[in-house]
Amino acid sequence: MNLLIRFKHPAIILILISLCSCFSQSDKNEKQHYVWLANNSKFVLLPPEKIEKSMDMAQFISASWQGSEFYLNAWVQADENGMEISLFNELGANMGSLSYKENALYFSSPVLPKSLQPEYIVADFQLCFYKTDALSEALEKCGLVLEIDKTIRRIQKGNDIIIEIELKQDTVILKNNLRGYSYALGGDFS
CA 79 to chain CA centroid, Å, is 13
pLDDT of residue 28: 38
- What is the rounded CA–CA span in Å between residue 120 and residue 124? 6
DSSP 40: T
| C-alpha Rg value of the chain to the nearest Å | 22
Predicted confidence pLDDT, tens digits, the chain (190 residues): 444 334 343 333 333 333 333 333 333 345 789 999 998 999 999 999 999 999 999 999 999 988 888 899 999 999 999 999 999 998 999 999 999 998 799 999 988 778 889 999 999 999 999 999 999 999 999 999 999 999 999 999 999 999 999 999 999 999 999 999 999 999 999 8
What is the pTM for the complete model shown? 0.81
* Identity at 32, one-letter amino acid code: Q
For residue 102, which phi and psi values (nearest 5 degrees)?
-50, 120
pLDDT of residue 147: 97
In the chain, the N- to C-terminal Cα span, in Å, equals 75
